[in-house]
Amino acid sequence: MSVQTARVRDSLAEEVYRSTGQSVARCYQCGKCSAGCPLASETDYPPSQLLRLTQFGDASLDQKALGSLTIWLCLTCQTCSARCPQEVDLPRIMDFLRQKSWKQGTVHPKARNIIAFHRSFLGSIRMTGRMFELGMIADYKRRSWKFFQDVLLAPKLFVRGKLHFLPHRIHGARAVRRIFSRALEKRGATR
Amino acid sequence: MRVAYFPGCSLQGSAREFDESLRAVARRIGLDLIEVPDWNCCGASSGHAVDHLLSVALPARILGLAEKTGAQDLLVPCSACYNRLVTARQELREDQTLKAEVCELIEMELRLTVRVRNIVEVLKEAMEGKDFPAIETPFVHKVACYYGCLLVRPHKIVKFDRPEDPQVMDELMQAIGAEPVDWAFKVECCGAGMTLARTELVAKLCGRILDDAEARGAEVMIAACPMCHANLDMRRPDIEALAGRKFAIPIMYITQALGVALGIDASRLGLDRHMVPVVFKRAEQPGADEPRA
């Protein structure tokens, strides 16, 4: 085993492998994931191309992947992984890229509202243990400045008995908050 | 049959008719539901987008609480919750280090013996039992069974039905007298969690789904996920605005269709809670509802 290709230390590919057990080198660019991805046409890099960016171990390409809109548009519908002939768990890789992108502060500017949604969603669970729809939506409007979105929907939901005005606080709310604090502490989050 | 039941946040709010119809059907078919006491949110798509440990620990607490009920099976009607729970359970079973970390985090022991089941598989099993009640009012309609993306995925873990062209829901519908149409969007994603942040994308994806269902002659779409239902039903005005045309097809939960067939009163199935009214537009002339090419 004398001849070995030099491996770039701490490339994104290696980090992905360490955190998810997924090897990006398995992908041979057949493009099945991009063909099946329901949002491929909306992304800046369709899934197979995003993976390609990470295959070189090149720092600037790695940063392109981490700053892409693709990772935030991904719906985790798992169509890609269901069809991948190499059984690459792309949704798991997307999760890792999202987490890293957020942590290092390179979120694509067009993903701002998606981030706002995640913050509002998780904030709601952190507070009471369960997601409280009305509170979550109000918080999202505040963060995204989309004050008038869906205002016509609210009365329709109300007459159908689907709008609850008070959150349900579970007994274990404190336990849930502890899960949040400790998990995010370990991660060394930016927020 | 006795099963632990994790409704999830949606079924307490905007998808309450899924919960209502599920409970009504369960009572009728002798399915004993024990709601997991003090359950929390599974974290959904935001959980795993932000932090891996969080995305496992939140479902783990639910699994731990479900174990305490003594039931062998945990019924999770929401496909998104189901996907999170089966995935977390699998990861915890495979990774002892992660399991130890999570157990410490949630301050609970985990045996991971309880099986996580989706609504379609539980209903199918119940229907195959000999105590299943007779179908009182056959559901004689052309239906498009919409599984959505997460009910049958990831196939390696879920090991339920086929990941591309699943059949179980179609078989269930046939058993209650319906005629499932053959269509192309059974497992296409509705856009799920983007409904607030990128409504126009959801409208685009849902428009394609509704278009194909209608083109194949379906009178009603059968869903098994509150996210799918919310996007296809509640987002109908957005879908129509983007598509530039109307879609009349109503969306029913699988439990509602089954409930109707079992003769359960419509009010107990929450049929009046939908945005798109559940009325069937039957073709007046034979052949008028033939699928497009």
pLDDT, average across residues B249-268: 97
- pLDDT value of position B291: 52
- pLDDT value of position A185: 81
Residue B126 belongs to some domain of the structure: no
> Domain range spanning residue A156?
110-187
- pLDDT value of position A190: 43
pLDDT at residue B287 is higher than 60 = no
pLDDT, average across residues B263-271: 95
CATH number at residue B58: 1.20.1050.140
Whether residue A55 is found in the same domain as residue A27: yes
- Beta strands B32-35; B142-146: pairing state: unpaired
> Domain range spanning residue B106?
2-120
- pLDDT value of position A188: 62
Whether residue A95 is found in the same domain as residue A33: yes
Residue B128 belongs to some domain of the structure: no
Q: Which B-chain residues 176-215 have CB contacts (< 8 A) with chain A?
A: 187-189, 191-194, 196-199, 201, 205
Question: Would the CB atoms of B234 and A189 count as touching at under 8 Å?
Answer: no
pLDDT at residue B283 is higher than 50 = no
- pLDDT value of position A2: 46
Whether residue B155 is found in the same domain as residue B260: yes
Give the minimum alpha-carbon distance from A56 to chain B in angstroms, rounded to a whole number: 25
Q: Write down the ipTM of this complex.
A: 0.91
Whether residue A40 is found in the same domain as residue A56: yes
Residue A4 belongs to some domain of the structure: no
Domain end marker among A86, A107, A128:
A107
Q: SS3 breakdown of chain A: % helix, strand, coil, rounded to 5?
A: 60, 0, 40
Give the minimum alpha-carbon distance from A11 to chain B in angstroms, rounded to a whole number: 20
- Residue B178 tokens read as 């319906």
Whether residue A88 is found in the same domain as residue A65: yes
Question: Would the CB atoms of B12 and A130 count as touching at under 8 Å?
Answer: yes
- pLDDT value of position B214: 97
Q: Which of A43, A76, A103, A191 should we substitute to test contact with B (largest number of B Cβ atoms within 10 Å)?
A: A76
Within chain A, which residues score under 70 in pLDDT?
1-9, 188-191
Q: pLDDT tier at B288 (50, 70, 90 boundaries)?
A: very low
pLDDT at residue B286 is higher than 50 = no
Nearest to A138 by CA among A169, A171, A164, A176: A164
pTM strictly above 0.80: yes
Residue-wise pLDDT tens digits, B138-159: 999 999 999 999 999 999 999 8
pLDDT at residue B253 is higher than 70 = yes
Helix, strand or coil, per DSSP, at residue B173: helix
Whether residue B84 is found in the same domain as residue B145: no
- pLDDT value of position A151: 87
Residue-wise pLDDT tens digits, B19-65: 999 999 999 999 999 999 999 999 999 999 999 999 999 999 999 99
Domain end marker among B63, B87, B120:
B120
Whether residue A18 is found in the same domain as residue A51: yes
Domain end marker among A107, A135, A161:
A107
Whether residue A30 is found in the same domain as residue A60: yes
Own/partner long-range contacts of A7-12 (Cβ < 8 Å, ≥24 apart): A7/A57, A8/A57, A8/A58, A11/A54, A11/A57, A11/A58, A11/A59, A11/A62, A12/A54, A12/A57, A12/A62, A12/A65, A12/A66, A12/A97, A12/A100
Q: pLDDT tier at B9 (50, 70, 90 boundaries)?
A: very high
